[in-house]
Amino acid sequence: MNDEQLIKVAIEARELSYSPYSNFKVGAAVLCKDGRVFKGANIENASYPLCMCGERNAIYHALMENEAKEDIIALAIVADTPSVVSPCGACRQVIHELLNKNTRIVLANLHGDIKITNPDELLPFAFQEGDLKR
Ligand code: THU
């Protein structure tokens, strides 16, 4: 599956967004080595801090279907933004920890703009497991 096809799945996922508070729909799709693709969308709540981002839902979806970090090839994220969507800080932290450093991160919008990046570029100097050691 190429980037454009993965973005198309993320756009489909975006339609499943539950975002009555922000009216900002985010869709995401994770592509794995075995060809499986897992969707995610942002899911909000009247108790605002409980809102969950689309890309995190897609990553958790893949992990819950038994995919290993090493087997995740790409993550596409789409929103209706003027330029490509910029993942929030919390998602960058999760992407950095749960995806491998070679994972292709495909940022897109509904106008055909695409930017390819990776976990280290999204979150340089990340807080990680080793930092917990004293
Ligand atoms: N959102 C995402 O799903 N991903 C991001 O990286 C940025 C923000 C969602 C959270 C909330 O439901 C809405 O977009 C507005 O912040």
pLDDT tens digits, one per residue of 45-66? 999 999 999 999 999 999 999 9
44 is catalytic: no
- CA 111 centroid distance within chain: 18
For residues 96 and 128, the answer to whether their CB atoms sit within 8 Å is yes
Query: What are the residues facing 129 on neighbouring strands?
Result: none
The Cα 67–Cα 120 span in angstroms is 21
80, 84, 88, 93 alpha-carbon torsion, rounded to 10°: 140
Would the CB of 119 count as within 6 Å of ligand 1?
no
Which tens digit of pLDDT belongs to each residue from 115-134? 999 999 999 999 999 999 98
- Which of these is catalytic: 55, 67, 70, 121? 55
Which residue's alpha carbon is at the smallest distance from atom 10 of ligand 1? 53
Pairing of strands 37-41, 26-32: antiparallel
Model-wide pTM > 0.85: yes
At 134 the pLDDT is 87
